[in-house]
Each structure stands twice: as structure tokens, then as C-alpha cells.
A and B are shown apart, each in its own frame.
Chain A
Amino acid sequence: MARTLLCEIVTPERIVYTNEVEMVIAPTVEGEVGILPLHVPLVTVLKAGELRVRYNDGKDVEWFAVSGGYMQVHEDKVIILAENAAVASQIDVERARQARDLYAQRMAELKEQSAAQAECDACEIDLRWFEAQVKVAETRS
């Protein structure tokens, strides 16, 4: 049995996932990083995208869509603090697509009206989250 990491994905509303895994691949603002056991302590900022974990001797992979957040790695424990996170198999693609289109439209409208920066940012966060969900659901389930 290979050495493992404890991976926890938590959102403000609940714990989405906890498991002993062998590798965590997360989308950080500077690109994807893979975390293996014995990684140096790390704190990093995540962007919306696809997160995956490998376990069971690399035979099984679980995919998640995450919105932006943070990841802390410390002593073989990976904590992912995401505002939103969903298991790929549980994403409702149709709904996510609709929401994405809705937010994309709203984003365009906001840009046209040159709305306040805060409003654009809030809209963009939601847009990226649904985009991530659609992408993960389409490719991974």
C-alpha cells in the first residue's frame, strides 16, 4: 500500500469529500499542481476548474468541479477550502449549462452598461463556477 494523503474538500455549507488518497491535482491560479505524499507545506489560491484525486493504487480517480478557493497542504493532509464544490457524477449538466448561459449573458450586459466593478466581479465568480461545472461534467461523466 502506497503512502497516502488525507484529502478534505470543505465548503462553507458542508464537507464535500474526505478520503485517503494518493494524489491530488488542483487548479491553482498559477496552473495545475499535483500533490503527492511528503509534499512541502503549501498554501495556495485556487481558481475555478477541475480538481481530481487518485486513490486505490492509482486505479480509481474521482473528479470534482470547484469554484475558487484555497488549498493548504501540511503533513500529508490536504485541505481544500472552496466556496463551492461538486462531485462530477452529481452535476446536473443541463442546469449548469443554463446557469452558465444566463450568467454569460448577464456578464455581457454588465460590460455594456459598464457597471460597477464589484458587480462584474460577483457575476464573474458565478460564471466561472458554472463553466467549471459544465466542463467537468461533459468530460468526466
Chain B
Amino acid sequence: MANLRDIKQRITSVSNTRQITRTMEMVATAKIKKAQERIESARPYALAMVEVLGNVARFVQGASHPLLEEHDERKRVVVVTVTSDRGMCGAFNSNILRLTEEIISRESGAGVQTDVIAVGKKALSYLRYRGIEPIGAYRDISDKPTFADARSIAGQIIPGYSEGSIDAAYVVFNRFKNVAEQKAEVYQLLPIESRVMEAAEDDLRITPEYVFEPTAEAVLERLLPTYVETLIFRGLMESAASEQGARRTAMKSATDNAGEMITTLTRSYNRARQAAITNEIAEIVGGAAALEES
């Protein structure tokens, strides 16, 4: 029979854990909302960006720019892996890391060198453990990414691509579908897909004659890197919101499980208590009977 005190201790410890997971769940719920608002407030910039890009694209038709051109040979690709700094969020990080791993093995299978830029402590420790040294590491930004972070990441890719030492770049991140759902996705950063430019062109119904200063080419040259930065920034923000969503789900099920565990433990506690009492009564009755007999 299980010891009464042992069961009691377990109940206490499980309910302490439940208190923690419940708090984390509530904190995550509050943070989702903030992170979602941040995505929302970034939208006007992204939309205006695409609009300007479309205007420029239409003007400099068949534009050639290093960032638009696909390289003939694929020798080296860079993957930006966006994870969280903290755990306790279910399969959030492992999905991303699995996807990264898939890309790496596919590319190296084709004889392409693959380098990783790790965002978040989880990616960093995982990659190091696997013996992959990331070419860039960003810590403590997953909670509240800034545009400067995105710019810094882009700064590690764009010059390499223009020079030809990098032939493609991807970002792997969790897309925030809704509060309960995240999806690990890969997005191509470089070369900038021509359909982006074409889609941007199609969006324009009215076609005014724009004046460009200094020239359309010069504007395009500045605009394309910023576009890449915006893509990365978006990935970082989606990931931040997804992280909180994943954590909320994970913590909710942990809280539920703890509750269930407490119920079963309480049940066996009561059973043990009753058994002990019955036992005691039997002993007393037995003792009294023995006295009477003598």
C-alpha cells in the first residue's frame, strides 16, 4: 500500500507545478496579443513598400539588379533559422530545426555548402550540439525583434549574394496562422523571386507617370535590400507571436494534465487513508476481542 505521506507530497508538488504552468499560460496569452498587434502595426510599412516596389518595377522594366538575378551555379546557400530563446513551447523549435536539417541534408546531398544563421538560443545550442557552427548568432531578440535586428541579419547575406559568394538564402520560421496554430515554413529571401515584382505590378490599376529621384535604377537599388530586410523582420515577428501561441497551447495541456493527475492522486490518497482506518479498526476490534476472551 502506498505511503500516505508520499502521496500527499506528490499532490503538493504536482499542484505547485500546475500553478506555474497556469501562470505561464496566462502570461503567454497576454503576450500573444501584444505580438499580434506588432505584426498588425508593421503591415502599413510592408504594404507601402510593395506598392513603391511595384511602381519602380513597372518603370524599369526588365530591371537587372544583382539581387534579382539567379546565379547559374549553386555552391553555397544560407539558411536563417528562427527559433525561440526559451523552451516550454511544445514542438515549436523542433519543427523549425527539423526543417532546417532537411534543407541542409538536401543541399549537401547536391554538393552545396550550407551555412546557417541562428536566431534564438535554441537553434544555437542545437546546431552546436550537432557540430554545425552557425555563421551568425542572434540571442535574446526572439521576444521583441526590432528592425535593426532584421537589418543586421540581412547585412550578413546581401553583400555575399551581390559578390557571388552566396547563391541563395532562405528563412525558416513559424508562421502565425492563429492563436492555436503555427506552421513551420521556408521562405526564399534571395534571389528575390521575379513573381514578387510581377505581383506588385499587377496590383496597380492606375498607372500614373512617376518621377524618380535620383533615377528609377537608384531607387530600385536602395529598395531591394530594404525589401529583404522587411521579409526577415516579418519572419522574426511572426515567430515571436507563434512562440507565445505555442507556449500557451503547451502550458494549457500541461495544466490540464496536472489537474488530472491531482484527481487520481487524491483518489488513491483517500483510498489509502480509508484502508489505514479500516486496518486500525480491525486491530482495535481484534485487541478488544482478545481482552474479553482472557
Which residue of A28, A75, A81, A118 is within 8 Å of B45 (Cβ)?
A81
Which residue of A14, A72, A83, A121 is within 8 Å of B55 (Cβ)?
A72
Task: Name B residues whose Cβ lies closer than 8 Å to a Cβ of A.
Answer: 38, 41-42, 44-46, 48-49, 51-52, 55-56, 146-148, 150-152, 155-156, 159, 208-214, 216, 218-219, 222-223, 226, 229-230, 233
Closest partner residue, chain A, to B222 (CB atom): A45
A11-30 CB mask vs B (1 if < 8 Å, else 0) is: 11111000000000000111
A45-76 CB mask vs B (1 if < 8 Å, else 0) is: 10000000000000000000000001010110
- Taking the closest CB of chain A, its distance from the CB of B261, in whole angstroms, is 43
A102-141 CB mask vs B (1 if < 8 Å, else 0) is: 0000000000000001100110011000000000000000
Known: A72-B55, A118-B155. A41 touches B42 (CB 8 A): no
B151 near A122: Cβ-Cβ < 8 Å: yes
Closest partner residue, chain A, to B210 (CB atom): A41
Task: Tell me, in angstroms, the Cα distance from A118 to B150 when the chains sit together.
Answer: 14
Contacts of A4 in B (CB 8 A): none
For this complex, 9 residue pairs linking A to B, each with C-beta atoms less than 8 Å apart, are A12-B42, A13-B147, A15-B44, A28-B213, A43-B219, A45-B213, A70-B222, A122-B151, A122-B152
Contacts of A74 in B (CB 8 A): 208, 210
Known: A43-B55, A72-B51, A122-B155. A11 touches B211 (CB 8 A): no
B49 near A81: Cβ-Cβ < 8 Å: yes
Task: Tell me, in angstroms, the Cα distance from A110 to B232 when the chains sit together.
Answer: 26
A72 near B209: Cβ-Cβ < 8 Å: no
Interface size of A as a range = 20 to 34
Top 7 closest A-B pairs, CB basis? A44-B213, A12-B147, A41-B208, A41-B210, A14-B41, A10-B45, A42-B211
Contacts of B229 in A (CB 8 A): 12
B56 near A45: Cβ-Cβ < 8 Å: no
B209 near A118: Cβ-Cβ < 8 Å: no
- Taking the closest CB of chain B, its distance from the CB of A141, in whole angstroms, is 25
- Taking the closest CB of chain A, its distance from the CB of B293, in whole angstroms, is 90
Contacts of A29 in B (CB 8 A): 213-214
A30 near B213: Cβ-Cβ < 8 Å: yes
Further contacts, 8 of them, CB under 8 A, given A42-B213, A72-B52, A81-B52: A14-B42, A42-B211, A70-B219, A72-B51, A79-B51, A79-B52, A125-B151, A126-B148
Question: Which of A40, A75, A81 has the largest count of B CB atoms less than 10 A from its CB?
Answer: A81
A73-113 CB mask vs B (1 if < 8 Å, else 0) is: 01100010101100000000000000000000000000000
Closest partner residue, chain A, to B207 (CB atom): A41
Closest partner residue, chain B, to A119 (CB atom): B155
Contacts of B210 in A (CB 8 A): 41-43, 74
- Taking the closest CB of chain A, its distance from the CB of B264, in whole angstroms, is 49
Contacts of B146 in A (CB 8 A): 13
Which residue of A10, A28, A33, A70 is within 8 Å of B223 (Cβ)?
A70
Contacts of B219 in A (CB 8 A): 43-45, 70
Contacts of B49 in A (CB 8 A): 81
Task: Tell me, in angstroms, the Cα distance from A43 to B56 when the chains sit together.
Answer: 8
- Taking the closest CB of chain A, its distance from the CB of B254, in whole angstroms, is 33
Closest partner residue, chain A, to B40 (CB atom): A14
